[in-house]
Amino acid sequence: MNRKAFFDALRGGALFPHGFSRNQIDGLDRLLDVWEKYFSADPIADLAYNLATSYHETAQTMQPIKELGSRSYFNKYEPGTKLGKMLGNTQPGDGYRFRGEGDVQNTGRRNAKFASDRLNKVFKLGIDLVTNPDKRGDPFISAMSLFLGNKEGWWTGQDLHDYIDGIDESDAEDLREFIEARRVVNGTDKAKAIAGYAVQILAALKKASA
């Protein structure tokens, strides 16, 4: 991939109207490095959607971040609540302890355990994200949770290839697939906005790959 062509295609557009900050450049380079090393055989539409997900879930910083909110805000994730049960939170304080973190917001005790198990199996990392939840924001762990997690369907049981066919199609069809792909991470929350980001990123990726 021609990185210069990729950045040039996005610079000054709707996603990065004022160009890139240093953190955005570093974050995009980090994600592209991991993708090219481990996922380069996958369709670039997957990459476009993953980068769009990071753009949305990191508040456009392209760096792993923690979910924002006061400590009391995360009481909605506490054991015994509907969300807490869904997230596998079992101990008092789990709502705050396992609040979302990363390029994709890895949230809850269940997801921390699942990510640990898969990353340890695939990469022999020896990590325990339940004991050390802050590690979810590690640059590599966060990138792999985004790419591998979305590919394998860690978050909702649905994966990118349930919705994205990887065929070169019209922007309208790509947009339709990307809207549906939000179900891989978080239902239909902000699905149309993220899909729009992905269409723009996919166009830049195609220019960079020409």
User: How do the domains of the chain map onto residue ranges?
Assistant: 3-64+143-209, 67-134
Name residues whose C-beta falls within 8 Å of residue 176's C-beta, 6 or more positions apart in sequence: none
pLDDT at site 26: 98
| Cα(75)–Cα(173) distance, integer angstroms | 39
pLDDT tens over the chain, length 210 residues = 999 999 999 999 999 999 999 999 999 999 999 999 999 999 999 999 999 999 999 999 999 999 999 999 999 999 999 999 999 999 999 999 999 999 999 999 999 999 999 999 999 999 999 999 999 999 999 999 999 999 999 999 999 999 999 888 899 999 999 999 999 999 999 999 999 999 999 999 999 998
3-state secondary structure of 58: coil
Inter-axis angle of helices 3-10 and 191-209, nearest 10: 140
How is residue 73 written in tokens? Answer: 């805000």
